[in-house]
Amino acid sequence: MGEWLTEEQQSSWRAWLSASTLLNERLNREIQAQHGITLADYEILVWLSESPDRRMRMSDLAERTLSSRSRLSHQIDRMEGAGLVAREQCPVDRRGSFAVLTDIGWNTLVSAAPDHVDSVRSHLVSALSCDEFEALGAACRKISDRLQDS
């Protein structure tokens, strides 16, 4: 059995769990109330908006959003029903498909982005000093890189 966390480590671990859960719940609740989309929907809209021709292979989108393919497929089905995205077959690989940002999806993103950025700034960025925010980013990148490498 491994070594237990120290009291300080346990306190930091629990603070991380609480902060990350509460932040995601708050951001999700606010974007839903303001724009009728989920935080996961918003993330997909952003990825598509930044992609050439506002389209991305479903497999690549699943990887970028850290979602399973089946989970992403269900979410894209729901977003397609709302008119935010469309699916298109890949002309080269008939098994593959693209998620494509629609005009409705683009307009939703353009409308939601300023409010979402205000929420992120209010609940995260402004809670920390510039040095603390930079340290948070560096720590998160280090953790993410380590997890992606393993």
Give the chain's domain count.
Answer: 1
Q: How far apart are CA 66 and CA 144, in angstroms?
A: 11
- What is the CATH classification number for the domain harbouring 33? 1.10.10.10
In a domain, 117, yes or no: no
The H or E element that residue 36 is part of is none
pLDDT digits (tens, 9 = 90+) for 11-40: 999 999 999 999 999 999 999 999 999 999
Does any domain span residue 83?
Answer: yes
Q: Fill in the amino acid letter for 18.
A: S
In a domain, residue 137? The reply is no
The parent domain of residue 95 ranges over: 16-112
Quote the CA–CA distance of 82 and 4 in Å, as a whole number. 48
Instruction: Tell me which residue of 57, 40, 28 sits closest to 115, measured CA to CA.
Output: 28
Alpha-carbon torsion, ordered 124, 48, 140, 74, to 10 deg: 90
Q: Does pLDDT of 94 surpass 90?
A: no
pLDDT at 112 over 80: yes
| 8-12, 65-69, 102-106: the lowest-pLDDT one | 65-69
**What is the value of pTM for the model shown?**
0.91
